[in-house]
Amino acid sequence: MALTTLDQNTALVVIDLQRGIVAAPTEPYSAADVVARSAELADAFRAHGLPVVLVRVSFAPDGADAPRGRTENAGHGGQPPQGWDVIVDEIAGHPGDITVTKRNWGAFHGTDLDLQLRRRGVTQIVLTGVATSIGVESTARAAHEHGYHVTLATDAMTDLNADAHRNSVERIFPRLGESGTTAEIGELLAKTRSA
C-alpha cells in the first residue's frame, strides 16, 4: 500500500543496525546505504521531537538467553565477536533515543518496546533495518498485531537475499501497512508536522 499518512505520534523503529549485522553482505541495498538512510530518518524524527527507537539483538556471554535452534551462529563457533551487538556510530549517541535489546527476531516479544511506545502515545511506527525478511518483518507483523499503524521505509532496509527482501516488500508488507521511500517519508513527515 502506498504511503498516504503519518500520525502525529509516530516513532521511528530501527532494527539491528549494529556492527556485527551491518558487516554481512546484503541485497538489494548495501548495509552502508541502509545505515545512511536510517540516520537521515532518525535526524528528521529527532528534529520534529518524535521518538527514535534503536533495536539491537544481543545475548548473554554464555548464550543461555538465546533462543534454541538458532541458525545464525552455525559455522561461527557459536560465539559472536566482541562488539558485534554495538549500535553503529552513525545512529547511536543521541541521549533522547530509546534503546531496546531483543533476543528474538521481532522487537516486541520479550522486550519493553510496546510499553515504551504506549507511554509516549505512539500510534504509528516507521520501520527500517536489517534484515527485511527477519527482524523487520517480524517486528512489522507484531506491530500490526499490537494495533499500531505500520509504515515501512523500503529503501532503508535490506536483507541477506534479494528475493527474501522482495517477497517481504511485495507480498507481506502491503498486508501490514503502508510503504514508501526515505525521501517520501521525510517529505510527509515535514508536511504533517508543519500542519
Rg (alpha carbons) of the chain, rounded to whole number: 16
Work out how many domains the chain is built from and give that number: 1
Q: Is there a domain that residue 186 lies in? A: yes
Q: Look up the domain containing 17 and give its range.
A: 10-61+82-194
**What digits encode the pLDDT tens for the residues 153-194?**
999 999 999 999 999 999 999 999 999 999 999 999 999 887
Tell me: pLDDT of 134 over 70.
Answer: yes
Residue 154: which CATH number?
A: 3.40.50.850
Distance CA 119, CA 117 (A): 6
Contact 10, 145 (CB under 8 A): no
In this prediction, residue 73 has a pLDDT band, given cuts at 50, 70 and 90, of very low
Q: Is there a domain that residue 138 lies in? A: yes
Q: Is there a domain that residue 16 lies in? A: yes
Nearest residue to 11 via CA among 50, 41, 55: 50
How much is the pLDDT for 195?
62
Average pLDDT score over residue span 25-48: 98
Mean pLDDT score across all residues of the chain: 92
Q: Which of 39-43, 64-68, 125-129, 186-190 has the lowest mean pLDDT?
A: 64-68
Nearest residue to 51 via CA among 128, 121, 2: 121
Contact 177, 151 (CB under 8 A): yes
Q: Is there a domain that residue 77 lies in? A: no
Average pLDDT score over residue span 10-34: 97
Q: Is there a domain that residue 69 lies in? A: no
Q: Is there a domain that residue 70 lies in? A: no
Q: Is there a domain that residue 185 lies in? A: yes
Residue 18 has φ and ψ, to the nearest 5°, of -130, 160
Q: Is there a domain that residue 3 lies in? A: no
